[in-house]
Homo-oligomer: A and B are copies of this chain.
Amino acid sequence: MDIRTLCLGVLTLGDATGYEIKKMFEDGMFSHFYEASFGSIYPALNRLTEEGLVECTQQAQEKRPDKKIYSLTSTGRSVFAAEITIPPGRDKLRSEFLVNVIFSEFLAPNQLRQVLDERIRFHHQQLDEMNKKADTCGANPARQFTLGYGLALHKAAAEYLTQNRDLLEDTSDTSNEAAE
């Protein structure tokens, strides 16, 4: 699944500009499980327009570039509907954090502590953010579900890290003794 398809998906929720779509990946709905930069979104929208899957109505603005409001065409909608029925592939994850953990013997104790502190702080921050969003998303069950999913996982992660970090940190402490 590429950015092109994701853009179609976003537009099923209502018309939007490229800039607004970017925000969905930055703060919005998708921010927790997908990323996309301007450099991929704008070309995607242009290509989708050429292919007739979206339409674009230009809206002149005084001192800024014209705002280009994209909307899904009926072709676009059915292309997306077809795309979304393809069984989802595996999640793709790259976690530098877990690489750090696996190779934590290479880290000084205070560095490891910092990495773990920061990670736990991050999970708590995500929990806060998601709790705030939970009110906003009202009666949409899909958004409630994904938010709940995010909450459940960040909570589990934060708890695991808090409760088990000593497994990692005790060893670095005792490695002097253990080596002797």
Contacts and interface: CB of A to CB of B under 8 A. Distances in A.
Interface in A82-122: 84-85, 87-108, 111, 114-115, 118
Nearest to A104: B142
What are the nearest 10 A-B pairs in CB distance?
A156-B156, A88-B96, A152-B160, A33-B95, A92-B94, A91-B95, A88-B97, A33-B98, A141-B171, A84-B106
A142 B91 contact: no
Contact of A118 (B87, B141, B171): B87
A19 interface: no
A99 B103 contact: no
Contacts of A94: 1, 33-35, 91-92
B156 A34 contact: no
Interface of A: 1, 6, 9, 12, 29-30, 32-35, 80-81, 84-85, 87-108, 111, 114-115, 118, 141-146, 148-149, 152-153, 155-157, 159-161, 164, 167-168, 170-171
A103 to B, nearest CB: 5
8 contacts: A9-B103, A33-B99, A34-B95, A80-B106, A84-B106, A92-B92, A98-B146, A153-B157
B96 A93 contact: no
Most B Cβ at <10 Å: residue of A32, A145, A156: A145
Residues of A contacting B: mostly:
helix
Given A12-B103, A94-B92, A107-B84, A152 B143 contact: no
Contacts of A93: 32-34, 91-93
Nearest to A118: B87
A96 B102 contact: no
Contacts of A95: 33-34, 88, 91-92
